């Protein structure tokens, strides 16, 4: 890779922008492809760019045939992150599961007894109110936010902060009745119904989850479905 392209790749990575390194396997010509542009000596048509950008969203490296050329696409993404509001029992299962699937996990809870190192020994902890913590953490398109406390005083400010972000997934624990009341509160707070619809509640896929561990599995499964753009329903 040319030094100029490497410098751009590192700069994009520091900026939290997804980028693909496209390499012609015959000529060695390369280009950096993002959602908005392309740089390099690899000539690409508009159709080529559409194909490469679609492949970039799949989050995996692959070889593509573009006309009579073989192009190797190497995807570079910011890390996946999960921000859990509430250091509750379900969070104790969700955090390690998310770690195993590649997420950087942060538990946010102003209650020190819940957001304690002995409850989350390998997880970043923030003992702040979520409306303070989340803006500082800057959720992006590679970030999921899940509210688990069942306490509107803690969950609602966190959900409001999440709705103001680009988080790809926002979920909240609670029954359908609880979620309906939550939706009303968010709309009363000034959010449009279409924006509030981003909050998935009851959180998690409909797998019959009952225990905290099972609910954690259902949440991670739904996060994966949303990330991979799979059409799956939520918990009943």
- Tell me what pLDDT residue 232 has: 60
Residue 73 contacts residue 63 (beta carbons within 8 Å): yes
CA distance 23 to 218: 38
DSSP category for residue 205: B
- Tell me what pLDDT residue 214 has: 97
How many other CB atoms are there within 10 angstroms of residue 178's CB atom?
16
CA distance 64 to 188: 49
Bridge partners for 213 per DSSP? none
- Tell me what pLDDT residue 178 has: 94
Give this prediction's pTM: 0.81
CA distance 34 to 85: 32
- Tell me what pLDDT residue 231 has: 66
Radius of gyration of the chain (CA): 20
- Tell me what pLDDT residue 47 has: 86
Tokens representing 127? 């003992």
- Tell me what pLDDT residue 236 has: 47
CATH classification code of 80-227: 3.40.50.720
pLDDT tens for the chain, 236 residues: list them.
Answer: 777 777 877 777 777 778 888 999 999 999 888 888 888 888 888 888 888 887 777 777 889 888 889 999 888 888 899 999 999 999 999 999 999 999 999 999 999 999 999 999 989 999 999 999 999 999 998 999 999 999 999 999 999 999 999 999 999 999 999 999 999 999 999 999 999 999 999 999 999 999 999 999 999 999 999 998 876 644 44
For the chain, domain boundaries? 3-76, 80-227
Residue 127 has phi, psi (to 5 degrees) of -95, 60
């Amino acid at each position: 890779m040319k030094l100029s392209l490497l410098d751009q790749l590192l700069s994009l990575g520091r900026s939290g922008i997804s980028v693909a390194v496209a390499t012609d396997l015959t000529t060695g010509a390369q280009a950096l492809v993002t959602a908005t542009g392309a740089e390099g000596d690899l000539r690409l048509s508009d159709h080529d760019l559409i194909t490469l950008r679609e492949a970039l969203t799949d989050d995996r490296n692959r070889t593509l045939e573009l006309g009579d050329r073989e192009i190797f696409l190497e995807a570079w993404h910011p890390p996946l992150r999960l921000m859990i509001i509430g250091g509750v029992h379900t969070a104790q299962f969700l955090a390690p599961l998310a770690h195993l699937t590649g997420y950087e996990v942060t538990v946010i809870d102003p209650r020190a007894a819940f957001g304690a190192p002995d409850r989350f020994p390998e997880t970043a902890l923030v003992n702040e109110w979520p409306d303070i913590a989340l803006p500082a953490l800057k959720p992006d398109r590679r970030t999921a936010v899940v509210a688990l406390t069942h306490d509107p005083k803690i969950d609602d400010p966190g959900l409001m902060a999440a709705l103001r972000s680009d988080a790809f997934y926002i979920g909240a624990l609670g029954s359908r009745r609880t979620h309906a009341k939550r939706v009303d509160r968010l709309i009363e707070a000034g959010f449009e119904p279409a924006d509030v619809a981003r909050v998935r509640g009851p959180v998690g896929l409909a797998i019959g989850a009952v225990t905290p561990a099972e609910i954690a599995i259902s949440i991670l499964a739904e996060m994966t479905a949303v990330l991979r753009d799979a059409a799956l329903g939520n918990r009943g």
